[in-house]
Amino acid sequence: MSPAVDVKTLVIDGIDVSARADQTVLEVARENNIFIPTLCHLDGLSDVGACRLCLVEVKNSPKLFPACVLKVEEGMEVTTKSDRLLHYRQTILELLFAERNHVCSVCVTNNHCELQATAQSQGLTHVRLPYRSPRLGVDASNERFVADQNRCILCTRCVRVCDEIEGAHVWDVMGRGIDSMVITDLMQPWGESSCTRCGKCVNVCPTGALFDKTKVGSDHPKYPDFVPYLNMMREGR
Amino acid sequence: MNKIKLATVWLDGCSGCHMSFLDMDERLLELSSQFNLVYSPLVDFKDYPEMVDVALVEGAISSVEDEHKIQHIRKHTTLLVAMGDCAVTGNVPAMRNPFGPLPILERAYHENVSAQPQTPSVIVPALLEKVRPVHEFVSVDLYLPGCPPAADTFFTVITELLAGRIPDVASLTRFGA
Amino acid sequence: MTSEELLQIAEASTAEHEQFDFQLNVCMGTGCMSQHSDKVKAALTEEVAKSGKHCHVRQTGCMGLCAAGPLVLVEPTETRYGNVHEADAKELVDSLGGKPLERLETHLDKYFQGQQHIVLENSGHIDPEKIDEYIGRDGYQALMTALTQMDPQTVIEQISKSGLRGRGGGGYPTGLKWGMVAKAGKGQKYVICNGDEGDPGAFMDRSVLESDPQRVIEGMAIAAYAVGASKGYVYVRAEYPLAISRLTASLREARRRGFLGSNICGTTFAFDIEIRLGAGAFVCGEETALIASIEGQRGQPRPRPPYPAVSGLWGCPTLINNVETFANIAPILRNGPQWYSSIGTERSKGTKVFALTGKIANTGLVEIPMGMTLREIIFEIGGGIPNGHTFKAVQTGGPSGGCLPEEHLDLSVSYDALISAGSMMGSGGMIVMDDTSCMVNVARFFMEFCMTESCGKCVPCRAGTAQMFDLLTKICDGEATHADLDLLIDLCDVVKNTSLCGLGMTAPNPVLSTLRYFKHEYLEHIDNKYCRAGVCACAGKAPAKEEVTA
């Protein structure tokens, strides 16, 4: 006998869909081929609702909700695309591009970058905001990997994968606000940190902030799909 | 049929966008029946004409000369296109922004020079404190990101513009493309 | 502890004080302490001993009028002295029993008469470190009654009926919140008191914790009984050392008297409180960030829902209220919800404590019934604008609030009226500004505050506040264009609607409210490079008269 499954029905962008009660709107939307942009979300990691790109409208609520943590409810009517949402998403991307020094043309992940691809998917052709051009460091002390703060968008995927999957919790965030920074250990150089050199953080990093030294040029695709697979294997164990 | 007056401008960029423009190869001949290239590093006209229909601007604004030029071009152009990442975002030239212009001059004219190192003070226009994209100085009508935008992108965009339509750029190209 | 024993302690405490002819209450709040009121107290004690008068000198908490500190209150004559220094001690003690010492009298009847003290009823009247003095003024009666005569549901009903709304700023109905936590299962639950008061210019919670900490402990214990919690935390900023030491002492006293621990008031109810210190992050006043901080995590918020009432501290249902909210609980139960709801306006009941600061004569702490107009608070209680300057704006709600101009002075203070005027109640900071304040610069100040206090988690707050700050700086410097102003307005909309927590959602408010009421000042900076207050660095001249359009 199969356990009773609590099924909810809801409407996303005018399409009737059904979902398990414990699912998020993002999961259900993707299952139904409805694209919602995300940057901090990664399948297999906990959700933090930080990038705000997946904000959606819910009928009868003036507030916007991040789809990655929004649990489905019976009868819910969700809109994932509107002029207002597009404007907000574009502005958030503009804020990210203007925040640090993202120079796609000379980046190791050019053409493999989620920030770059998301900007294109949201029709962003230029950034209205002035570039802040902060002076930031590059940590190449690890024998295999490099951390370039100029390209970091603070999605904290590295922090979460290191803590939740690798169990090492080498990465964390220091500082506040615009001065926030991902660091290894208590800001020891990466090469001298307690890093296990597993490389998970590099593969989940959506931009070229974390990259592999051994790859040259912009030939630097990332393979973040291992996370749900690892989770699945562990649960099945 | 009146031919469209087309200009291309080279500010602080590597000329890669112009190269990519030329990479349209034989299609350029096809298009050129519909426009006159009235000002460009590719041709020999010295002065920017009184009125240009479409100007493709390559490069960021890095010096007082760039700033002066772009103001002039804007005044004498109907449709201004920011061509390539340098014009759109600042791109590689703007990588000096976190440091300011002085270290760049030091590097170029002192550290890397063996004989008589000196920073030029005449003829060479003064550098601006920060390198900025074109739209921070003048209004831009169309943004064409890419480093450089591909020849196919140029062909589609120019074909569309010649037909009097504004193309959907985001579907063609992106930052760094 | 039985109610008879409670009564005995109260009577003993009263009798102890009644044996003296006079009580000299010396304010030992942070404000007066910074003016060396501890030395004044020592000098008074010495003079009293010399004079042989039957007089008791004691430390008390804040008396409100911080501008005139150090303050001394003589009981039972209720004579108030301000700016008292060591050298005045002899003269002051000599005057006891005779004519009041004219020279030091505060003469601010209007300041005190306009107020109604519920939260502050004991402030300045009791020694905050002596629990018996609190009991002597009806303290712990409410807890005793609740535990022995009411079931938890009744307590919640009483609070609901009183109409009390959260005093931390949001104004969520307290009874409703309690009810949610009470309904959230039967397992481990927590009560948290939010004392992470971080708004610039706000010191209400600090003052309550310094002056009458037992009131907060009693409120928390009642709340814990009502919602079924066995453990409480007071989260106080480490920048409040005096509040922390008094609270620590008071928790010890409360345990000694059996109001914390097990078998409280002879019942099976068990509850205890721990103090947690905040490390100075403004965002830790946001409830989910505060909870993360107590858990030992980086103090940053998480998306709600789930709300703390469902999943809070360590995933357990958690009631989190502000210091002032808890301080209202005991009087409500003692005097009944009808009494409380008879005070205030239709939808905002009771009183509110405000920290009155800025360009105002009587800087200090005031407690006023809801519904009083801003004009009454500023010009009657506050004594108006000093030094011949004119009123320009009043800022309420801290960095989340807004600036209201003169035409809103007759607005009566309530949660809803302030919000509809573009500001908010907030925790109770009230900063008065005169014609020497530039409103663009004020907006810039608050934006800088939000920018540096943003936790950095979500993009719009982290990067948006920085961009808005840069744009405001550009305007202040007289270098901005109309396009910059449009961009600023657009960013306000984006940051307000897309940020993760209240900090980001409300960060644009100071800009939006100054744009609503003082747009001409923005335009003067842009068009004329002119700052009418002479604060900003822009060098332009005043626009010709006809150009000025408000």
Domain ranges of chain C: 3-108, 138-341, 351-434, 439-547
From B49's Cα to the closest Cα of chain A, the distance in A is 28
Please tell me what DSSP assigns to residue C68.
Answer: G
Cβ neighbours of A173 in C, within 8 Å: 298, 456
Q: Please give the Cα distance from C119 to B134 (Å, whole number).
A: 59
Q: Is A174 on the interface with B (CB under 8 A)?
A: no
Cβ neighbours of C496 in A, within 8 Å: none
Q: Please give the Cα distance from B54 to B9 (Å, whole number).
A: 11
From A83's Cα to the closest Cα of chain B, the distance in A is 16
Please tell me what DSSP assigns to residue C325.
Answer: H
pLDDT for the residue A218: 67
Longest CA pairwise span in chain B (Å): 58
Strand partners, A64: A57
Instruction: List Cβ neighbours of C181 (8 Å cut-off, separation of 6 or more).
Output: C189, C227, C228, C229, C309, C317, C318, C319
Q: Considering only CA atoms, which of A57, A91, A70 is closest in space to residue A24?
A: A70
Give me the residues of A, 20-79, that contact B with CB < 8 A. none
From B136's Cα to the closest Cα of chain A, the distance in A is 8
User: Which residue, among A109, A127, A138, would best test binding to B if mutated, counting the most B CBs under 10 Å from its CB?
Assistant: A127
Would you call C494 and A91 a contact, using CB atoms and an 8 Å cutoff?
Answer: yes
Would you call A52 and C491 a contact, using CB atoms and an 8 Å cutoff?
Answer: no
pLDDT for the residue C20: 93
Q: Which domains, ranges and CATH numbers included, belong to chain A?
A: 7-81 (3.10.20.740), 107-236 (3.30.70.20)
Q: Please give the Cα distance from B146 to A111 (Å, whole number).
A: 11
Please tell me what DSSP assigns to residue B96.
Answer: G
Instruction: List Cβ neighbours of C149 (8 Å cut-off, separation of 6 or more).
Output: none
Q: Are C351 and C369 in contact (CB under 8 A)?
A: yes
pLDDT for the residue A2: 57
Please tell me what DSSP assigns to residue C271.
Answer: B
Q: Is B130 on the interface with A (CB under 8 A)?
A: yes
Alpha helices in C228-376 (DSSP H): 241-256, 287-294, 323-335, 337-341, 374-375
Please tell me what DSSP assigns to residue A128.
Answer: -
- Residue-wise pLDDT for C77-103, tens only, equals 989 999 999 999 999 999 998 899 999
**Considering only the top CATH level, what class is C3-108?**
alpha beta
Residue B142 has pLDDT above 50, yes or no: yes
Q: What 3-state DSSP class applies to B76?
A: coil
Would you call B90 and A128 a contact, using CB atoms and an 8 Å cutoff?
Answer: no
The domain made up of C138-341 is a member of CATH 3.40.50.11540: yes
- Residue-wise pLDDT for B27-82, tens only, equals 999 999 999 999 999 999 999 999 999 999 999 999 999 999 999 999 999 999 99
Question: What is the Rg, in whole angstroms, of the alpha carbon atoms belonging to chain B?
Answer: 17
Q: Is C498 on the interface with A (CB under 8 A)?
A: yes
Q: Is A138 on the interface with B (CB under 8 A)?
A: no
Would you call A101 and B135 a contact, using CB atoms and an 8 Å cutoff?
Answer: no
Residue C520 has pLDDT above 50, yes or no: yes
Count CA within 13 A, CB hemisphere, residue C80: 20
pLDDT for the residue C548: 46
Give me the residues of A, 78-107, that contact B with CB < 8 A. 97, 101-107
The mean pLDDT value for C260-276 works out to 96
Low-confidence ranges of chain A (pLDDT < 70): 1-3, 218, 237
From C172's Cα to the closest Cα of chain A, the distance in A is 17
Residue C224 has pLDDT above 60, yes or no: yes
Instruction: List Cβ neighbours of C514 (8 Å cut-off, separation of 6 or more).
Output: C393, C402, C403, C439, C440, C442, C443, C521, C522
Q: Please give the Cα distance from B126 to B63 (Å, whole number).
A: 6
> In this complex, how many residue pairs, one in chain A and one in chain B, have their CB atoms less than 8 Å apart?
76
Cβ neighbours of A97 in B, within 8 Å: 89, 175
The mean pLDDT value for B104-126 works out to 90
Q: Return the structure tokens found at C342.
A: 């008879």
| Chain B touching partners, 3 or more CB pairs below 8 A | A
Place of tokens 């708004």: C199
Q: Which domains, ranges and CATH numbers included, belong to chain B?
A: 4-94+130-171 (3.40.50.700)
- Residue-wise pLDDT for C316-349, tens only, equals 999 999 999 999 999 999 999 999 999 999 999 9
Q: Please give the Cα distance from A230 to C340 (Å, whole number).
A: 58
Would you call A103 and B92 a contact, using CB atoms and an 8 Å cutoff?
Answer: yes
**Considering only the top CATH level, what class is C439-547?**
mainly alpha
Taking the CA atoms of residue B118, residue B121, residue B125 and residue B129 in that order, the dihedral angle to the nearest 10 degrees is 80
Q: Considering only CA atoms, which of C543, C453, C458 is closest in space to residue C494?
A: C458
- Name the strand (E) or helix (H) holding B55: strand B52-58
In total, chain C counts a number of residues equal to 550
Sheet holding A55-58, edge to edge: A15-20, A7-12, A77-79, A55-58, A64-66
Q: Please give the Cα distance from C340 to C350 (Å, whole number).
A: 6
pLDDT for the residue C49: 94
Q: What 3-state DSSP class applies to C145?
A: helix
Q: Is C409 on the interface with A (CB under 8 A)?
A: no
Cβ neighbours of A120 in B, within 8 Å: 170, 174-175
Angle between helices C459-476 and C509-527 (to 10 degrees): 30
- Phi then psi for residue C119, to 5 deg, are -65, -40
User: Which residue, among C451, C459, C467, would best test binding to A if mutated, counting the most A CBs under 10 Å from its CB?
Assistant: C459
Would you call A104 and B147 a contact, using CB atoms and an 8 Å cutoff?
Answer: yes
The mean pLDDT value for C116-131 works out to 96
Nearest chain C Cα to A50, which residue?
C458
Q: Please give the Cα distance from B144 to B17 (Å, whole number).
A: 10
Q: Are C368 and C382 in contact (CB under 8 A)?
A: no
CA distances to B105, B120, C176, C303 from B112, in Å: 10, 14, 72, 53
Cβ neighbours of A64 in C, within 8 Å: 497-498
Instruction: List Cβ neighbours of A45 (8 Å cut-off, separation of 6 or more).
Output: A157, A160, A161, A164, A165, A204, A227
From C209's Cα to the closest Cα of chain A, the distance in A is 28
> In this complex, how many residue pairs, one in chain A and one in chain C, have their CB atoms less than 8 Å apart?
99
Alpha helices in chain A (DSSP H): 25-31, 83-99, 114-121, 157-160, 200-204, 226-236
pLDDT for the residue C545: 60
Q: Return the structure tokens found at C448.
A: 């800088």
Distance of CA C78 to the CA centre of its chain: 25
Q: Is C286 on the interface with A (CB under 8 A)?
A: no
Q: Selecting from 1.10.10.10, 3.10.20.600, 3.40.50.300, 3.30.497.10, what CATH number does the domain C351-434 have?
A: 3.10.20.600
CA distances to B70, B77, B82, B154, B157 from B56, in Å: 11, 10, 6, 10, 11
Would you call A177 and C494 a contact, using CB atoms and an 8 Å cutoff?
Answer: no
Write the single-letter amino acid at A163. Answer: D
Q: Please give the Cα distance from C364 to C495 (Å, whole number).
A: 33
Q: Return the structure tokens found at B48.
A: 């920017």
> What burial class does residue C56 get, using C-beta atoms within 10 Å of its C-beta: 0-12 exposed, 13-18 middle, 19+ buried?
middle
Would you call A126 and B89 a contact, using CB atoms and an 8 Å cutoff?
Answer: yes
Q: B127-132 and C22-27: which strand pairing? A: unpaired
Distance of CA C80 to the CA centre of its chain: 23
pLDDT for the residue C549: 47
Q: Is C494 on the interface with A (CB under 8 A)?
A: yes
Q: Are C442 and A78 in contact (CB under 8 A)?
A: no
Would you call B175 and A119 a contact, using CB atoms and an 8 Å cutoff?
Answer: yes
User: Which residue, among B57, B88, B175, would best test binding to A if mutated, counting the most A CBs under 10 Å from its CB?
Assistant: B175
Instruction: Count the neighbouring beta carbons within 10 Å of the beta carbon of residue B114.
Output: 5
- Residue-wise pLDDT for C19-52, tens only, equals 999 999 999 999 999 999 999 999 999 999 999 9
> Which stretches does DSSP call E strand in chain A?
7-12, 15-20, 55-58, 64-66, 77-79, 138-139, 145-148, 171-174, 181-184, 210-212
pLDDT for the residue B2: 80
| Chain C touching partners, 3 or more CB pairs below 8 A | A
Q: Are B31 and B158 in contact (CB under 8 A)?
A: yes
